[in-house]
Structure 1
Amino acid sequence: MTRSRRLAAIAGASYLFTHVTSVGAVLLYGPLLTDDSWLAAEGGSGAQVLGALLDVVLAAAVVATGATLLALLRRHAPAASAGYALLRTAEAATILVGAAAVLGVVALRGSGADGAGAALALRELYSAAFTVGPGLLVGVHTVLLAVTLGRLRAIPAWIPVLGVAGAVLVTVSNVAVLAGWQADTSTLRGLAAVPIFAWEIALALTLLIRGLRLGAPEQERQTAPASPRASW
């Protein structure tokens, strides 16, 4: 296996891993995200702590996708690949903020009226971090990567189109949440995330199965010596 195929496989596996960990974390958080009575009650919070740990692993996988694609694309699209890696790192930072907020909520659970306000504030911090990171930043870096891969013709043309469409939908949905037009947890918000979910799955499988189809960088093609003409 060549270096580029190995990097592509790592990137694809990292993408799939982000989906497993992100969905797992939300499922484990459960009532912490929506039920005020859960915050006031005493009891075990092991599932929520495990969810926060999954978010930490998710952040590492998000950084891995940016780093591997930077290594794959930096000769072909240096500015775009660096921008993508930086945006993925910023997304990972917001995920870690959310995980820390969840651990704070767990620590304050059942602490009475004195801790209830702080617990609610930390839950709102988690929601805000989720909206900014896996919400708005994802829309930006998805457009950047989809347009770059489409321009390079590195993957089938329908995948970048799906990515751009998904990015627009998820961005509009999260702006609606910030503006108060849509609830944090709603069916409409979930549906708006389906196309970008499909984009990442399609990209991940493409990276795993066939890798990126990248020719020589444009600069190298322009500076390559012309083929000598045959002498007769």
Structure 2
Amino acid sequence: MRTHDARATTAGLLLIAATASSLIATAFLGSVLDGADILGAVALQQNRLLTGALFQIVGAFTSASIAVALYPALKRYAAGMALGAVAFRLIEGVFFALAAVGTLVMVGLSEQLTAGASADASAELVRELGDSASTVGILAFYTGATLYYLVFFRSRLIPRWLSVGGLAGTVLGLVAALLALFGAIATFSGTQIVLNLPIAVQEMVLAVWLLVKGFSPKTPAPTAA
């Protein structure tokens, strides 16, 4: 019999909220910032950008909260890795929040179109800042997620097939993030999106499992030899 406690339910809800807010933010931001006339495009779609930034912020907070919610259940099996997962997902949240700030700054710059070339140069800089912050946030996410899936595998709090699926998804996503970081593929390109699909599906499966099944019956924590 599985235990339905607040930790499993909270983590499941946060997984859904983080994934949904990230997808919604991406849908609103779209390719608005990809063109040459950044500020002109932003000026025409300020409300769309502001809505995207709002969901970026929601995603930042919910992403950071996932590992925090899981920590009490995981620490008895591997306290170091559980704490590492919290640390990296907090880093992820900070950098995703920084990306949201970049979006808000871009909206502010769009109101200064009369500034001419200097404003355009500033807009390009802010766009690069947002992209870089997103990349760092993604790298932190995959590192933190790998750590808690390793603890899940060790503790058997969820089925091992689910843990293995999570580890496979984080490896693919991490490869995609590193390829984007070193310029082998474009950031948020079709290739990167495809390589990120497995972990997106995995996180939703994990969320539903935690909400419906909860954690497996407690297994003895490993003891030192």
TM-score scaled by structure 1? Answer: 0.87
- Structure 1 stretches of 4+ moved >4 Å: none
Sequence identity, in percent? 28
- Answer yes or no: is 1:197 the counterpart of 2:211: no
Q: Describe the shift of the 1:141–1:44 C-alpha distance in structure 2 as closer, same or farther (beyond 3 A).
A: closer
Deviation, structure 1 residue 3: 8.8
Deviation, structure 1 residue 38: 4.2
Q: Which structure is larger by alpha-carbon Rg, 1 or 2?
A: 1
Separation in 2, partners of 1:168, 1:74 = 23
Residue by residue, what CA displacement relative to the aligned partner does 1:71-126 show, whole Å, maximum 9, x if unpaired?
Answer: 22222322121111111111000001100111111111262322111111111111
Q: How many residue pairs end up in the alignment? A: 219
- Answer yes or no: is 1:46 the counterpart of 2:47: yes
Within 5 Å, which residues of 2 pair with 1:2-151? 5-41=5-41, 42-109=43-110, 111=113, 112-134=116-138, 136-151=139-154
Higher RCO structure (Cα 8 Å, ≥6 apart) = 2
Residue in 1 that maps onto 2:170: 167
Preserved CA contact (<8 Å) 2:89 2:144: yes
Preserved CA contact (<8 Å) 1:31 1:38: no
Preserved CA contact (<8 Å) 1:95 1:130: yes
Preserved CA contact (<8 Å) 1:32 1:39: no
SS in 2 for 1:74: helix
Preserved CA contact (<8 Å) 1:4 1:72: no
Structure 2 segments unaligned to the other structure (5+ residues): none
Separation in 2, partners of 1:68, 1:4 = 14
Separation in 2, partners of 1:26, 1:12 = 22
Separation in 2, partners of 1:122, 1:4 = 45
Separation in 2, partners of 1:171, 1:33 = 24
Residue by residue, what CA displacement relative to the aligned partner does 1:26-65 show, whole Å, maximum 9, x if unpaired?
Answer: 1111233312224235434011011111111111111221
Preserved CA contact (<8 Å) 1:32 1:38: yes
TM-score scaled by structure 2? Answer: 0.90
Root-mean-square deviation over aligned CA pairs:
2.0
